[in-house]
Structure 1
Amino acid sequence: MLLKATRFVALMLAALMLGMGLAHLMQLPSRMAWDQYLWVGSTVQGGLYASSGTLGAVISIATVIALALVVYFVREHDRPGFRLALAATILFGLAIALWWVLIYPVNVELAKWVNGPVPGDWKSYRARWEWGHAAISLVELAGFGALVASVVADTPRGFR
């Protein structure tokens, strides 16, 4: 029962992470075409993503913790899907690492733009921010796929 409950929580958290990531991915073509005033105004000064940072951080950490527990319980109870669950944990952990490498440095720079001037090379920051989020969402998609596959691998034979 504990494995099922942990899987449920992990699936829900991973789905929330994936949803936020796919939203960034779907917005990419439009946002890359925006001019400086629209992109900076919405992303930096408008607070469009203000709650995403704090809430997203909590959800992403909770997702990796829940996934690590799934890996532990799957192995402890000798259930199928261990490697897939481990892959999901690694991929969602990688997504967090990618955020720190790709997005955080840009966010630090963007914070300077709230009350200050926007540099002439703002498009390079936009590209790194947008494409970084896109890459992270694809890693999360792969992680979610591995998680779902780990659950499917444990489906009783009579249901296949």
Structure 2
Amino acid sequence: MRFLAIIITGMALAAPAAHAFALLNKIGMAKADYFVAQQAYAGWWIVGLLLPLALLANIGNAVALRADGTAMMLSIAAAALIALNLVIFMVFTQPANAATENWTVQPESWENLRARWEYSHAVNAAVTLLAFCCATLASIR
């Protein structure tokens, strides 16, 4: 269970980290260029399936580590951070995806939507990195 918690949480970090690394290159793009660049993410929704798996793996790890209070709390923290990632996605990222029909429609408020989308992914990269650290620390304790 420890191995799965680390691996799945680490894999769940890949997509938000990629978005965070691209942020500085994309945040100032012109409208047409930005909408073209966003098409590179078509099909990335499947990577999002790793988040519920990471949540379950970290909850399972917390149960498995219940004899070690600190390790159990670190696993619970990892699970809570993954849950926070999902909340941030649903509150900030998904509405931008919906308003732009996954970046195929260009509404007037596209710059605000771009900022919400880009910065929510950057925050989620940090949140998921913290979850990965907690999962790793819980497992090596």
Q: TM-score, normalised by structure 2?
A: 0.92
Correspondence for 1:94:
84
Instruction: Give the alignment of 1:30-49 within 5 angstroms.
Output: 30-43=25-38, 46=39, 48-49=40-41
Give the CA deviation at 1:113.
5.7
Matched, 1:18 2:22: no
Gap change, CA 1:37 and 1:74, over 3 Å in 2: same
Matches within 5 A, 1:67-146: 67-75=58-66, 78-79=67-68, 80-111=70-101, 114=104, 116=105, 118-146=106-134
Task: Tell me: CA distance 1:113–1:7, structure 2 relative to 1, closer, same or farther (3 Å).
Answer: closer
The structure with more radius of gyration: 1
Deviation at 1:18, TM superposition (A): 1.0
RMSD: 1.5
Q: TM-score, normalization: structure 1? A: 0.82
**Structure 1: runs of 5+ lacking an equivalent:** 1-5, 154-160
Alignment equivalent of 2:55, drawn from 51, 64, 78: 64
Provide the residue aligned with 1:52 in structure 2: 44
Equivalent position of 1:148 in the other structure: 136
CA distance in 2, matches of 1:119, 1:27: 22
Moved >4 Å (runs of 4+): none
CA distance in 1, matches of 2:58, 2:118: 27
**Partner in structure 2 of residue 29 of structure 1:** 24
